[in-house]
Amino acid sequence: HPPFPDEIAIAKDKKKKGVACHHPKLLILLREESIRVIITSANLVPKQ
């Protein structure tokens, strides 16, 4: 693994080079006769 950086970019401060944090979203859709499990790494926003 690469070393953890001393400085991490937060919000819009892109001058600081750091690591990103992967935080998947879990959606569970319950239906009458089935269950659908969705795990996504995309943010749940209208525009990417």
Instruction: Please determine, for residue 2, whether its predicted confidence score (pLDDT) is greater than 70.
Output: no
Domain ranges of the chain: 21-48
SS (HEC) of the chain:
CCCCCCCCCCCCCCCCCCCCCCCCEEEEEECCCCEEEEEECCCCCCCC
Q: What is the pLDDT of residues 5-48, one digit of tens each?
A: 666 655 566 565 555 666 778 889 999 999 999 988 766 667 75
Q: 7-27 burial string, b = 16+ CB within 10 Å, else e?
A: eeeeeeeeeeeeeeeeeeeee
**Cβ proximity of 19 and 4 under 8 Å:** yes
Q: How long a stretch of residues is the chain?
A: 48
